[in-house]
Amino acid sequence: MNKILAKILAKRESELFRDAVDWESLGLTDYLVVIKNPMDLGTVKKKIERGEYRRMEDCAADIRLIWSNSMLYNAPGSLVYNRAKTLSDFWEAHWSLFCKDDVERPPTTEEMQQWAENCHKISQEDLGKILGILDSSCPQSLVKRYESNEVEVNVDLIGGKTFREIKGVVESLLGEGPKKKAKTALQ
């Protein structure tokens, strides 16, 4: 874990994430309203040094929290958002070498693109079911525009476990999921 963290800290892009956000001096009065659990790389490093993580997965969760907080608070396409996404991808690529079966692993860009394409193939009613799952499991991923009755999904903010759930639902709706056993004449 220390080696991956050292690689991240060595990247110039990580400068924005090395210390806690000084939201007061930046005038970000809504920061703690939006971000419930602030986290930064410096805090993670100190927790590693003090042996505060019982499991590597706990450390991974804190590192993912840094990126998801940054992408939640900052607009897609902004400098902070883009750097968080880049570092998240870098982190996941290195972390996956240690923990291949991590259910919290965020989806890859390819997985997100395929899921989005598949969502265009399902009915509006079924799409509503997907939005319902997201609204209850991952509400921060939804941008609701009440005036136009539209909902935008920020896939970058969907947690790995939730993404795999909705991906499976969409695939089963399209008949691409695991094949169900045919019912027998007795059923």
Q: What is the pLDDT of residues 133-159, one digit of tens each?
A: 999 988 988 988 888 888 888 888 888
- Cα–Cα dist 144/178, whole Å: 32
Domains of the chain, each with CATH number or no CATH: 2-98 (1.20.920.10), 109-173 (1.20.1270)
Pair of tokens at residue 77: 């396409």
Inform me whether the pLDDT recorded for 182 exceeds 50.
no
pTM (two decimals): 0.69
pLDDT reported for residue 183:
39
Pair of tokens at residue 1: 């874990």
Inform me whether the pLDDT recorded for 94 exceeds 50.
yes
Per residue in 32-70, pLDDT (tens digit) is 999 999 999 999 999 999 999 998 889 999 999 999 999
Per residue in 20-42, pLDDT (tens digit) is 999 999 999 999 999 999 999 99
Q: Could you give the percent of the chain with pLDDT greater than 90? A: 57
Tokens 């009440």 belong to which residue? 146
- Cα–Cα dist 168/6, whole Å: 35
Inform me whether the pLDDT recorded for 18 exceeds 90.
yes
- Cα–Cα dist 181/185, whole Å: 12
- Is the C-alpha dihedral spanning 177, 123, 114, 164 positive or negative? negative
Nearest in space to 112 (alpha carbons), one of 79, 63, 158, 68? 158
Backbone angles phi, psi at 35, to 5 degrees: -100, 105
Question: Based on the number of CB atoms within 10 Å of its own CB, is 71 exposed (0-12), middle (13-18) or buried (19 or more)?
Answer: buried
- Cα–Cα dist 171/165, whole Å: 10
* Range 88-116 average pLDDT: 82
Backbone angles phi, psi at 142, to 5 degrees: -105, 135
